[in-house]
Every structure is written in C-alpha cells, then in structure tokens.
Amino acid sequence: MIVVTGAAGFIGSCLLAELQARGYADLVAVDDFSRTDKLPNLEGKRLSARIERSEFLSWLDANENQVQFIFHLGARTDTTEFDKSIFDELNVRYSQEVWRKCVAYGIPLVYASSAATYGAGELGYADDEALVFQLKPLNPYGESKNTFDQWALAQELKPYFWAGLKFFNVYGPNEYHKGRMASVVYHAFNQIGDTGGMKLFRSHKEGVKDGEQARDFVYVKDVCDVCLFLMETRKNSGLYNLGSGRARTFLDLVRNTFKAMGKEEKISFIDTPADIRDKYQYFTEAPMGKLRRV
C-alpha cells in the first residue's frame, strides 16, 4: 500500500492520479472527508481505502505491515490564518506522530514542507539544513512548517528514508477548492474569463514596482514527478527545495495567461489586503542543485 495524506487536496489528488497512471494499484487516501467541496478531486481514483485523518494513526497501527510508503501532504495551508494552535495541532504534532510511526514500522516518508519557511528571504532560499534553525517565517503557517523541519532534523531516530519537500508556488488542476489560497494562475484564468481583466496586488515595498513581485511557480505535475522519483530511488534523505528554479513576476505570469487565453491584456492594481501586507513574500526562488544531485 502507498498512503497519501491530504489526498482530496490539490497536490495529494494529483499525486494519486499520477500513481494510478503509472500502475500503482494499492492506494490509500487519508483526509478530512467532511470537506465535501474537495471530494470531486477523488472522482475516478481507484482506492483500496479512504481513511479519516482522525483515524489514520490507529489504522496505521493495525495495517503497518501492508504499508510500503507514506506521502504526508495533509496540512493546514492557509497563510492568512493566525491562530497558532491550529497549526501546532495539524502541522506539527500530527506530523510528529506520523514520523514516529514511520520510524517504528520501518516505513519511508516524504512530507510537505514549504517555501514559506524562508520568510522574507533574509538568508536566501538555499535548502541547506544548517540554516533551518535560523530561518524567520512571516506567518504561523510558515512557522509550523519550519518547526517541524527543525524537529525532524533534531531527531536521533529517523525513517530509513525520508524527505521534506519545500514546495514553492505550486499551480495546476484540482486547486479550485482553495479559495483565496489558490495560485495566481488559477485566479488569473478565472478572473480574465469572467471579467476580461485581471487585478494584481499593488507593491507596498520600496524598490519593487507594481506587479514586479516575483515568485518561483512550479507545475503540480512536475511536483508529482519528483515525489515518485524520491519514492522509487529512496536515497539521500533530507530537506529539498521543489520549485522551477526561476522566479517570474506576477506581471509576466498574468500577461502570459492573457496570451494563452487569446485575450487582450487588461491589468489593474489593488492594494494588498491589510491582514497579509506585512507577511507578504515579495520574492522567492528555489536553488535546485541539491535535488538535481540525488
């Protein structure tokens, strides 16, 4: 069995589809299935079982001898949520329990970290494990991901193979349920289709022009390819960046979306919402050398 937590979510559902396409048949989906808005992501997936997130750890105790690999992608990912206790429970303590089970039962593990751990990029974006304890994330989500990375690195007992993937700005199919947290690509496609134009956040940082905020955007199917590569090779455990390796401005991204849709370019700017303005990453770019050397 291959287990995917967060299976009804954006990346998890795409990973299940890719596993299925490559002939992996014994797949187990773990999620909070009370979120009915995400359930269409599982349509057409041939699953051995659907396990509620709250029941997964006890299920794993009973079925560990059948589990060959765990992709732990389930997490609270809302960067605008500032209740730290939610992240402590779902992104830290729950992930610690999954880790401990993998150690106890000899199960290899790939889990989702995040580029949000890098904060404003004061220390750059190198996936150097020596820097993890110095990083300063900008929000509780990023803090929770970095807290778990720190905890994992400090553990004397680790799964015989493990990898924490620092996802940069992932985009692609099956993110419709993410609302405000969906990618700029998704919002641009829908907003251009609905209104003929696109509104981007105005820059509130000196030296950065409107629309020149830049992120490393990576396609979800490329993310899935890396996940399967790590599962199939299982060497060189550690933390890895997972992006395209190149930052692109929002303006460039949206202009290309207009072009791909065959629409006349119509871009305007609005203020960045006050609740995220001070926690906003103006630049991210993933050095990819470490992963390419695996």
pLDDT digits (tens, 9 = 90+) for 21-58: 999 999 999 999 998 899 999 999 999 999 999 999 99
Mean pLDDT of the chain: 95
Residue indicated by tokens 């209740």? 83
12 in Cβ contact with 31 (< 8 Å): yes
Cα–Cα separations (whole angstroms), residue 189 to 162, 228, 243: 36, 29, 21
- Asked if the model's pLDDT at residue 19 lies above 90, the reply is yes
Q: Which residues are catalytic?
A: 141, 178
Contact 239, 127 (CB under 8 A): yes
* Per-residue model confidence (pLDDT) at position 149: 98
| Amino acid in position 23 | G
- Rounded distance between C-alpha atoms, residue 26 and residue 278, angstroms: 45
Q: How many residues does the chain have?
A: 294
CA distances from 192 to 34, 59, 151, 187, 256 (A): 32, 45, 43, 8, 12
Q: Which of 82, 115, 117, 88 is nearest to 276 (CA)?
A: 82
Mean pLDDT of 242-254: 97
Q: How far apart are CA 144 and CA 158, in angstroms?
A: 19
* Structure-block tokens of residue 279: 């926690």
Residue 246's pLDDT band, with cuts at 50, 70 and 90, is very high
- 190: three-class secondary structure by DSSP: helix
End-to-end Cα separation, the chain, in angstroms: 25
Give dist(CA 79, CA 273) in Å, integer.
13
User: pTM here?
Assistant: 0.94
Give the pLDDT confidence score for residue 130 in this predicted structure. Answer: 95
**Is the pLDDT reported for residue 144 higher than 80?**
yes
What is the pLDDT at residue 181?
A: 82
